[in-house]
Amino acid sequence: MARPGGRSARVQEAVHGAVRELEAEVGRDALTVPLVAARAGVTPSTVYRRWGDLRELLSDVAVERLRPEAPPEDHGALAADLTTWAEQFLDEMTSPPGRAYLRDALLGDPDGNNAGRCSAYAADQIDVILARATDRGEPAPDVETVIDHVVSPMMYRILFRPSPLDADYAHHLVAGLLDGPAGAASDGTDA
């Protein structure tokens, strides 16, 4: 049984905090379970039992850091909202820490739950943007379409390509989506 309010929660917070502190102090590559456990004031076996592995622990912490802290900015028009969001998203994810968190989140993730959460964060943000557009009466594409045309290409290039990416690329993708073919209509994409 989960006991969210008790000792378990305190331990989890202490361990997550220890990871964040030590990442800043000694660097991500120098982290070890015994080190984190000592900083958090728990025994290593506690960490191993709860997370099973340093990578899974780092994955948990990384996902926390990838969670957006605020809803996307409202610029009064779909194109501006999407473009700004995509630029900020790309900027965050291409930065060295962003890449590191992304890798960690994907890496220590046997069942894909954390990866799914990352994807859901982006989808939620996009959903807000599209809902605003609909409220304004603007025609808006489907969330899945935005993911296919904007999020996926950025992620693919971040993960697989060494070359750097700039805001122009994000702009180009959004323009290709909105000015393009099925511009504002949903096209029934589904996974």
* Site for DNA, rule CB under 7 A: 1-8, 11-12, 32-35, 41-46, 48-50, 52-54
Which residue number, 59 or 84, has a Cβ lying nearer to DNA?
59
Q: Count of CB atoms within 10 A of residue 78's CB?
A: 21
Q: Of the two residues 8 and 152, which places its CB atom closer to DNA in the complex?
A: 8
Helix/strand/coil (H/E/C) assignment for every residue in 81-126: HHHHHHHHHHHHHHCHHHHHHHHHHHHCCCCCHHHHHHHHHHHHHH
Residue 153 binds its own copies (CB under 8 A): yes
Is there binding between residue 174 and its own copies (CB under 8 A)? no
Residues 34-73 that bind its own copies (CB under 8 A): none
- Binds its own copies (CB under 8 A): choice among 80, 106, 167, 184: 106
The footprint of its own copies on this chain (CB under 8 A) covers a number of residues equal to: 36
> In the structure encoding, which two tokens stand for residue 117, read together?
């959460």
User: Is residue 148 near its own copies by the rule CB under 8 A?
Assistant: yes
The DSSP call for residue 30 is G
Q: Name which position in 133, 151, 170, 174 contacts its own copies (CB under 8 A).
A: 151
Q: Which of 82, 129, 173, 174 binds its own copies (CB under 8 A)?
A: 173
Show contacts with its own copies in window 66-105 (CB under 8 A). 103
- Cα separation of the two ends of the chain: 33
Q: Could you tell me the sign of the dihedral formed by the alpha carbons of 70, 75, 77, 78, in that order?
A: negative
* Cβ 146 vs Cβ 177: under 8 Å: yes
Q: Which does 18 bind (CB under 5 to 8 A by kind): its own copies, DNA, none?
A: none
Give the residue carrying structure tokens 């025609």.
139
- Does 15 interact with its own copies (rule: CB under 8 A)? no
The site partner of 132 among DNA, its own copies, none (C-beta below 5 to 8 Å per kind) is none
Query: Of 17 and 68, which has the nearer Cβ to its own copies?
Result: 68
2 binds, among DNA, its own copies, none (CB under 5 to 8 A by kind): DNA
Q: Which helix (H) or strand (E) holds 47?
A: helix 44-51
- Residue 187, classed as helix, strand or coil, is coil
With tokens 């456990």, the residue in question is: 37
